[in-house]
Each structure stands twice: as C-alpha cells, then as structure tokens.
Structure 1
Amino acid sequence: MNRLIYMLYAGLLFVGTIGSCRKTEVGTMDKSDKQAPGPVSNAQVENLNGAAKITYNLPQDDDLLYIRAEYTTKQGIVRNTKVSRYLDSVVLQGFADTDVYEARLYAVDKSENVSVPLLVKVHPKTPPFELVKQKLVASAAFGGLDVGYQNVTESDVAIVILANDKLGNFAPLKTLNTKLKTGTFGARNLAAVETRFGLMVRDRWGNLSDTTYVTLKPFFEAQLDRTKMKGLNINGTDAKNYPGNEVEYLFDGDVSNKTAYHTIDPVSMPQWFTFDMGQTAKLSRLVWFMRQGWYFHLHNPRKVEIWGSNNPSPDGSFTNWILLAEHEQIKPSGLPPGQNSNADIEAALEGETISIPVDAPAVRYIRFKTLRNWSDGVYVNFTELALWGNPQ
C-alpha cells in the first residue's frame, strides 16, 4: 500500500515538473541565446489610403516572437507596428502623402534578438485626411457657417474651422473630431459680417492638410429670450411629467442635473410637449442639452420632430401645425450606450443643434415631438432647451 502511494506521488510530481518546465520555456527570456532569427522574406505590398499592407513569409525559427515593421517620416520620426508570429501580414499607417517610402521588416525572437531587415518599397495612396479636405463644402448659415464633409474611409480625423480671434490672430475657431462617413458641423454666434474662414483637416498622427480659405457672411440671428417661454399643455394632450420636472425647467438656463424635464409613466412613443415662446420669430436653430452622466443614453431624446404654429387648434391636435424640422441625434464615436469618447462628451457639452430651414415660416408656438429616445423606452428627459432666430 505504501509502495502504491509512493508511486502515485512520484507520478504527480513528474507531471508537475514537466508542466513547470514547459511554462518556463514559453514565458522566460533565454539570455544566453544570441542567435538572431532568420529574416522575413517574399514581401508583397498592397498600397492603401495613407497606409500599406505588407504580406510576407515568416522565418522557420521555433522561438520567433513577433514581426516589427517600421518606416521613417520626412520629419525623421520612426513609426513602427508589431504583429504576432501567427500573422503573415502587417499594416503600416500614418503616411502623410503619396511618395515612395522604404519600409523595414524585422523578425524578433523571445530573447529579443533581431533579424537583418527586409527592405520593401511602399507607395501609399492619398491619405484619408486629404480625401476629407478635398470634399469639404462651406456655406453661410444663421450666426455662422456650416461645413459639410465626406469621410469615405471612416478614418479618425479632426476638421478645423479657423478665423481671426479678438487679437486678430488666425486661429482655430471650431474643431470636429469624427470618424463618421458623412455629416455637417459648423460654428455659431458670429456677427453677420463678411468673414474670412479657413478649413483644414488633421489625422491622429498629426498630419495636416493645406488650408482652404473661404469668405462668407453669416445670416443674422439672435438668441430668443428664454424668460418669455412657458409650457402650454393644450387640452391635456401633452405627455405628463413628474412634479418638479415641468416644461418650464427647460428654460431656466441651467444645463446641470439640478433641474430637468421628465415625463411620467404611463406614456408611450411618440410623445410631445408644447410651449409658447412669448414672441413670434423666424427660427434658425434649436439646441437641447442632455442630462449629465447619461449622455447618449437612457431617456434623452434621439429622434425628434419640431413643429410650429401661430394658431394652435384648441383640441390639442396637430391641426394648424407645420413640421419645421426632423432630426436624429448621431453619436460621434458610434460607441454603444454607456460608453462615451472625448468627442461624445464634447458634443454633449455643446448641445444638440437642430437647424431650421431658411424657408420655414415665423411662428410663436413650438411642439417638441420625440419619436425615439436612447433606450427605446417610454420616458423623455433632458435639462435645457434654447432657440435662436430673428424675432419679429
């Protein structure tokens, strides 16, 4: 019996020793190994926009760890990318132009021994930031300008609007960080005078396009007096709200979570609230602010309609109302609800803007109709609403 126990113990010890040796072999650098791995070979190049994909044959060394590819920019910066020994291709990115560059590919083993380089010529296509810059379209807007863009490669870019600041320096006025395929953004709160603007695009490696210059005259607009605005629940048809979360809190100038508008159960979609602006105005834009801490999430409006009227029907229906704008909020990063990038937070702090068409009539009464929120639920909740236009 004792002999059997001894044999079992010895067997387990032997298996444990083998497992331990294997673990050490995989994860520990052998400092005595001075033998460099064989080089990468047979490279094939696929030139991409601002990048190059290089496919290759791996060396047969058992202790190969990874492949490192690199190139040197015209500013002397070495950019490199590392990929696993299980991959047979690597993508070099961040090229600023379409010139020919020399890429260097190295095989590296577990002891950090480096092979001789394989030199490969790459000829990247037009970088994404240049493609975006070529398609920028600027136009005059109420209180500023709008810039339409196309980003066919859906790359991370920053689109920059420049103008003279108060000291006369031509400096960035507004920057949009985006990877969306298409969109429009702009700068506001500018005087209705001819202004020289600049447009340029930057990528995440710091490459900059040339600047395009355009002179535009923004259309006049003024922010409407929020103290004149009040809720107007006609015939009880508006969505009900929690006590202390009335429509009036959207006009108190506070974008924090201290005050907010919040509907109450039972409600359904679509739902709306109505308010009197206290004056007739030809609107240029409406801006709403989401609840802090719940940006692009939960009960904040996502898809809405803005209706206007000068003579609302007393039955609370949409008779005598005209649809001024339809709008869906787009999250800059495209991340799932609850995950926000810096671009998402910047957009939330600025508020969500709905542009009102130039040919829309002047109105006094507004109906904010929510078709969908960010959680597909039945509540609507946000903190502030502001309007701009030409009071009459």
Structure 2
Amino acid sequence: MKRIYYFYSIIILFAAVFIMNSCQDTAVGDTTPPGQVTNVIFTPQYGGGYFTYTIPSDEDFLYTRAEYIIDTGAKISKTSSVYSDTLFIDGFGQKKEYDVQIFSVDRNNNQSAPVVMKVVPLEPTTLAVLETVQVQPGFSSLVVDWENDQKKNITIYVNVKVRETEATKIYASNLEKDRFMIDNLKGEPHLVNVFIKDTYENQTQTKDFGEITPLVDGAISKKQWSFLRDNLLYGNKWDYNSDPDPFQQKPLPEYQGTYRDDSLKNARETYYEGRIEKFWDNEYDYEPKLNLNYFHTGPQSYPFSYFIDMGREIQGSRFKIWQRNAWGMLYGGENVEIWEIWISDDKDPTDGVFEGWELVGRYRIAQPANVIEARNEARDGHEYLFYPENPRFTKPFRYLRYKAIKQYGGGNSGCTSEITIFGTEADGSIIEDPETLTGVLEGWE
C-alpha cells in the first residue's frame, strides 16, 4: 500500500507541474495586442488637461497609457486603470500644440497601436501663478504673495539685490493662496525679480518688480506699559461709592450698559499663579523652568478683554504672541487661540477712555504640521502684521485692547504668556530697549 500511495503521489505531482507549465506557456504565448481606445476627447487645463474615451472590449485589457515630450525634452508617461475612462496629463510649459500617444495595454503587457492626439493645453500653471505674484514692503522685510488656484506644486524664486549684494530666496508650495517674507532687511532700495518653476523644471520668464524699500520698525519698550484697570478705563465715570469693596465697584449707573465682558470691562486681574502684568514682563512661559509666566482669567466666558496703557503714543507695525507652555498646553488647553486687537488714541483719559477705538484685526495661532517647527515657532513667538493684507503702521495710539475670542480647548478660561509690539514712537523714532523680548531667550531653546 505504501508503494501504491507513493506511485500515485508522483503522478499527481507531475500532472500539476504539467498543468502549470501549460498555463504559463499559454500566457507567454499571448501576443495579441488589445484594441485601441476610441471616442477620444481632450479637455484642456492649465499646463495640461485630460482625455475621456471608450476602453477596448478585450477581456485582458489592463490600463491606458499616454506618452508625450515636454519642453525640457523629458519623456512623460501617464496611466489610467481599467476602471477609469479618464486620463490626466500635465507638465506642458507653453500654450502650443503637442503630440500625445495613447496606448491600450493588456495583462501580458501587449500594447495597441497608438492613438495620436494633437492637443493645446491652457497656459501653464507657473505662468498663471506668476501673474498673481505681488511683492510689497514689509517691516524690515519684503512680503511676497501669490495665488495658485490649481494647487499644483510650484517653486518660487525671489532674487533680491541691494548695492553689490545679491541673494535668492526659494520657497515651495501647493497652497491655493500663500505668502512668505524675506526678513532682516534694511530700509534701503532692493531690486526684486521673480520666476517660478514646476515639478517638471518648466520655468517662467523673470518678472521684474523694480526697487522696493522695506519699512523700518523696532521693538517697542514696555517699561511704560501698565494695566488700565476698570476705574481708569472709565475715569470720572467710575462710581467709587457703589460698593465698599473696590473689586465690587462699578461705573455710574448711566455707564453700566457698556460694563460687560464683550465691551468695556477687564477680565479678572489675577487668578492663582496668573497675573495680567505677566503679559508684558519680557518673559515667556517655559515648562522646563516652571516659571508659570502668563495671565490667567480663571472661570471666564468668551469674549473677554484686557486693556493696556502704553504710557505714551506709539505706532504699531507687527506684534508677537507667546503661548502658555506649562503642563503641556502648547497649541491647546487654556491658551487663547483667536483674538482681536483694538487701539485708541483718546487724548483725555480723565473722562474715560471711550473715544477713538478702532478694530485693527482678528488673529489666530495656526499650529505648523511639523512638530519641531511648531515647537520652535512657539519659542520664538508667533508673529503677525497688524495689517497683513497691506502692511503699514497703525495710527498713533496709547491704549490697546486685547480681546480674546476663542480658547483652544473650547473651555471657559483663558491664558496667554507674552505680547511684544514692534513699531515706532509717535514721532517715528525708534528707541532701542535691549530688555524687550523679541525671540527665544538664551538657554531656553
């Protein structure tokens, strides 16, 4: 019985091998190409377009492939599977006629004779983006903006020349609307031109922006800053007789309509370790130091405000904000995520700081996707132009209102560690104060 079992096992093994070889021979021997795609229609897009078509009826049809040569001389191949009747092509650097060959390919890698299509794409994405580029003076910087409606990967090259020195700033993006800044420039004319490349190395012509002179600002000293408490905010409209407890006092009855959280009223001055004066003491909250340096409202509905007296009139250009870091709260927890800045040039605070209030803008802390970049930005301070769309100085002002709109965690309390304002004195002068916090503290990286 054992010999018979062994004999039949050998027969079954040889049969299996024979069948497998037969199948392989049949597959290898299939050299019949599939049919061509038919009813081909091309729809142009920026720097490319797409084909729609009817796939062949062959049962072993696998995919469609397009081949073409772009302006750099590179041969490009694009494919679309058996489950699609649409094939996209891109990479063209000009609006002109190109030849595109379309093949049908089966599971044995046989390909049909090509269907040759002559196509004319729309202008390339790079040119469309270049037409939207704007370069304007920032503060000690140049501000470069552009739009990329197709959200294609592009690289923008900004060439800057001042006297005999030249440099090129390179930035890659695929965002619909983007901006970058060239920082640490002096207030003298800079010759600027721009060109753009795509991922296929197609390059636009250079667009000349002429001479642009950056605006000049400096960090504003905070030595004269002070908290504009409610009684000072209301001046002689404050009713000191309304309650023996100073913390329970209110404005005169006819002015109590504005004495609410979303109007002319400060949030709590202190709460546990938090104090409002820590908001401008030139030290940010740093968890390894456990310095607990931030304002803390305690239980508080949104919106809420703090009013600050600059001690004299200044003109603002930009500002930096540092978050609370303690207990791992960066980009979360009780940190204020969205806020507004208001300014006032009220000339006579004795009757209350009611006049001249102007909304400068609303701002938000956006967390970078990269963990290291997010940490470094939080350490260096999140920087904002007061007027990001059109960088310029604010009107001269003495009083600032920080109005919190939303907390990161969505709760009912608020913390922020530090604010620094850049700009000039009201007369345009810049008074340097080495104690003013402008970036990462040494040793606190």
TM-score range, shorter chain: 0.7 to 0.9
- The yes-or-no answer on 1:57 pairing with 2:54 is yes
Aligned to 2:35, the other structure's residue is in SS state: coil
- The yes-or-no answer on 1:282 pairing with 2:315 is yes
CA separation of 1:32/1:49 partners in 2, compared to 1, >3 Å: closer, same or farther? same
Flag structure 1 segments of 5+ consecutive residues without an equivalent.
1-24, 332-337
Contact persistence 1:63–1:109 (CA under 8 A): yes
Contact persistence 1:289–1:383 (CA under 8 A): yes
Match of 1:117 in 2: 114
Corresponding residue to 2:195 among 188, 191, 200: 200
Written as runs of structure 1 = structure 2, the 5 A alignment for 1:86-97 is 86-97=83-94
Match of 2:76 in 1: 79
Contact persistence 1:289–1:352 (CA under 8 A): no
Aligned to 2:318, the other structure's residue is in SS state: strand
Match of 1:11 in 2: none
Contact persistence 2:132–2:146 (CA under 8 A): yes
Aligned-partner Cα distance in 1 for 2:331–2:27: 51
User: Amino acid of the residue matched to residue 144 of structure 1?
Assistant: S
TM-score scaled by structure 1?
0.72
Match of 2:384 in 1: 353
User: Amino acid of the residue matched to residue 384 of structure 2?
Assistant: T
Flag structure 2 segments of 5+ consecutive residues without an equivalent.
1-22, 231-246, 248-264, 427-445
- The yes-or-no answer on 1:271 pairing with 2:304 is yes
Match of 2:250 in 1: none
CA separation of 1:125/1:369 partners in 2, compared to 1, >3 Å: closer, same or farther? same
Aligned-partner Cα distance in 1 for 2:308–2:172: 32
Contact persistence 1:290–1:348 (CA under 8 A): no
Shift of 1:263: 4.4
- The yes-or-no answer on 1:191 pairing with 2:220 is no
TM-score scaled by structure 2?
0.65
Written as runs of structure 1 = structure 2, the 5 A alignment for 1:239-254 is 239-240=267-268, 243-247=272-276, 248=278, 252=282, 254=284
Contact persistence 2:65–2:80 (CA under 8 A): yes
CA separation of 1:373/1:155 partners in 2, compared to 1, >3 Å: closer, same or farther? farther
Aligned-partner Cα distance in 1 for 2:274–2:342: 22
Match of 1:215 in 2: 211
- The yes-or-no answer on 1:387 pairing with 2:421 is yes
CA separation of 1:387/1:112 partners in 2, compared to 1, >3 Å: closer, same or farther? farther
Match of 2:241 in 1: none
Contact persistence 1:176–1:185 (CA under 8 A): no
CA separation of 1:112/1:382 partners in 2, compared to 1, >3 Å: closer, same or farther? farther
Aligned-partner Cα distance in 2 for 1:84–1:223: 59
CA separation of 1:391/1:42 partners in 2, compared to 1, >3 Å: closer, same or farther? same
CA separation of 1:385/1:330 partners in 2, compared to 1, >3 Å: closer, same or farther? closer
User: Amino acid of the residue matched to residue 385 of structure 2?
Assistant: I
Max Rg structure: 2
CA separation of 1:253/1:266 partners in 2, compared to 1, >3 Å: closer, same or farther? closer
Match of 1:340 in 2: 369
CA separation of 1:346/1:264 partners in 2, compared to 1, >3 Å: closer, same or farther? closer
Tell me the percent identity: 22
Aligned to 1:169, the other structure's residue is in SS state: strand
Cα-to-partner distance string for 1:304-343 (whole Å, 9 max, x where unaligned): 321124569989x972452251134496xxxxxx89379x
User: Amino acid of the residue matched to residue 327 of structure 1?
Assistant: R
Shift of 1:229: 7.3
Shift of 1:162: 2.7
Shift of 1:352: 4.2
Aligned-partner Cα distance in 2 for 1:216–1:62: 64
Contact persistence 1:229–1:251 (CA under 8 A): no
- The yes-or-no answer on 1:43 pairing with 2:40 is yes
Aligned-partner Cα distance in 2 for 1:32–1:229: 90
Match of 1:7 in 2: none
Match of 1:365 in 2: 399
CA separation of 1:257/1:384 partners in 2, compared to 1, >3 Å: closer, same or farther? farther
Match of 2:167 in 1: 170
CA separation of 1:164/1:244 partners in 2, compared to 1, >3 Å: closer, same or farther? farther
Could you tell which deviates more after superposition, 373-382 or 103-112? 373-382
User: Amino acid of the residue matched to residue 287 of structure 1?
Assistant: K
CA separation of 1:120/1:380 partners in 2, compared to 1, >3 Å: closer, same or farther? farther
Contact persistence 1:47–1:123 (CA under 8 A): yes
Aligned-partner Cα distance in 2 for 1:245–1:81: 60
Aligned-partner Cα distance in 1 for 2:78–2:415: 45
Aligned-partner Cα distance in 2 for 1:36–1:295: 61
Shift of 1:281: 1.9
Shift of 1:374: 5.7
User: Amino acid of the residue matched to residue 51 of structure 1?
Assistant: G
Written as runs of structure 1 = structure 2, the 5 A alignment for 1:219-234 is 219-225=215-221, 228=223, 232=227, 234=229
Could you tell which deviates more after superposition, 49-58 or 270-279? 270-279
Contact persistence 2:344–2:358 (CA under 8 A): no
Contact persistence 1:275–1:366 (CA under 8 A): yes
Q: Number of matched residues?
A: 354
Contact persistence 1:250–1:260 (CA under 8 A): no
Aligned to 1:130, the other structure's residue is in SS state: helix
